[in-house]
C-alpha cells in the first residue's frame, strides 16, 4: 500500500479500503439497557407470551448475543425479576419503612402500590410484575419457585413490621400479625389485577382506604372503655 504526503500530513491512497473488524466478534451492546428493555417486555406480556424473537427485537441484540450474555430465557427472566425488584421496590416500600405506626405503614404500602401500579409518574407498565408473574409449571420449577419467593419477601416485610408494632405496643399483644400481613398483601394483589385491567389511581386509593377503615377491629386495637356506651 502506497502512502503520500499532502501538506505535511501522511495520508493513505483514496482507494484504500476501510479496515474491517475481525470476524466472529460478538455485537457490542449495553447489557444494562438490554436488561431493562427485557424487564419491561416481561412485565407487560409475562413469561409465556414473550418469545425469544420478541426479546431480541426489543433488546436490540441477536439471538446468539442474548444467550451469550444471559444464558437462557429462564435465566434472563430471573435476572429481569431481580432487576425489577431492586430498581422499583423503593416506589412501594420507602414510606412504609419510615411510617410511625403499623396502620400508617400499611396505608403507605397500599397507597404507594397504587401509584406505582398505575405508571408511577414515569410511564411504568401497569400492574405488578412480581404479583402477576406466572409460568407454566412444566420445565420451569426453579423459575416458579423464584417468583413465589419474591412474592413471599413482601409478606415477610409486612409481618416483620407488624411484629415490631406489637413489641412497641402499637398493636395489641393478641394481634395476629400473620393474618394481618396476609390480608394487606392480598389487598395489594387484587389492586395489581385491577391496575392491569385499567383501573385508575383514584380507584385503587379508595380500595386502600376502605380496606384499612376497619383496622382497629382487624387488629383488636379497640378502646374497650367505650364499649357498651351509647
Query: Which residues of the chain have a pLDDT value below 70?
Result: 1-27, 136-138, 222-230
- pLDDT at site 150: 87
CA distance 68 to 24: 13
For residues 115 and 201, the answer to whether their CB atoms sit within 8 Å is yes
CA distance 76 to 42: 10
- pLDDT at site 132: 83
- pLDDT at site 27: 54
Burial string for 18-38 (b: 16+ CB within 10 Å, else e) reads eeeeeeeeeeeeeeeebbbbb
Contacts 24+ apart (CB under 8 A), 210-214: 211/110, 211/183, 211/184, 211/187, 212/103, 212/106, 212/107, 212/110
SS3 128: coil
For 191-227, what is each residue's pLDDT tens digit? Answer: 999 999 999 999 999 999 999 999 998 898 765 444 4
Cell numbers 430465557: residue: 73
- pLDDT at site 177: 97
Beta-bridged to residue 6, according to DSSP, are 9
**What are the phi and psi torsion angles at 212 (to 5°)?**
-100, 5
| 213 class by beta-carbon count within 10 Å (0-12 exposed, 13-18 middle, 19+ buried) | exposed
pTM of the model: 0.81
- pLDDT at site 221: 72
DSSP state, residue 224: G
Amino acid at each position: 500500500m502506497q502512502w503520500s504526503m499532502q501538506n505535511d500530513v501522511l495520508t493513505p491512497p483514496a482507494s484504500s479500503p476501510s479496515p474491517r473488524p475481525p470476524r466472529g466478534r460478538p455485537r457490542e451492546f449495553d447489557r444494562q439497557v438490554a436488561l431493562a428493555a427485557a424487564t419491561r417486555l416481561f412485565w407487560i406480556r409475562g413469561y409465556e407470551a414473550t418469545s425469544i424473537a420478541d426479546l431480541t427485537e426489543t433488546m436490540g441484540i441477536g439471538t446468539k448475543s442474548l444467550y451469550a450474555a444471559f444464558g437462557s430465557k429462564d435465566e434472563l427472566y430471573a435476572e429481569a425479576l431481580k432487576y425489577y425488584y431492586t430498581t422499583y421496590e423503593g416506589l412501594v416500600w420507602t414510606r412504609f419503612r419510615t411510617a410511625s405506626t403499623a396502620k400508617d405503614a400499611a396505608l403507605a404500602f397500599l397507597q404507594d402500590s397504587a401509584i406505582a401500579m398505575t405508571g408511577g409518574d414515569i410511564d411504568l407498565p401497569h400492574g405488578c410484575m412480581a404479583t402477576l408473574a406466572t409460568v407454566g409449571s412444566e420445565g420451569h420449577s426453579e423459575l416458579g419457585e423464584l417468583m413465589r419467593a419474591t412474592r413471599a419477601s413482601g409478606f415477610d416485610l409486612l409481618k416483620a413490621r407488624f411484629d415490631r408494632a406489637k413489641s412497641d405496643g402499637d398493636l395489641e399483644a393478641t394481634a395476629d400479625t400473620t393474618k394481618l400481613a396476609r390480608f394487606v398483601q392480598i389487598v395489594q394483589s387484587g389492586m395489581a389485577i385491577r391496575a392491569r385491567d385499567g383501573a385508575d389511581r383514584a380507584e385503587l386509593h379508595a380500595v386502600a382506604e376502605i380496606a384499612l377503615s376497619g383496622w382497629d377491629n382487624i387488629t383488636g386495637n379497640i378502646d374497650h372503655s367505650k364499649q357498651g356506651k351509647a
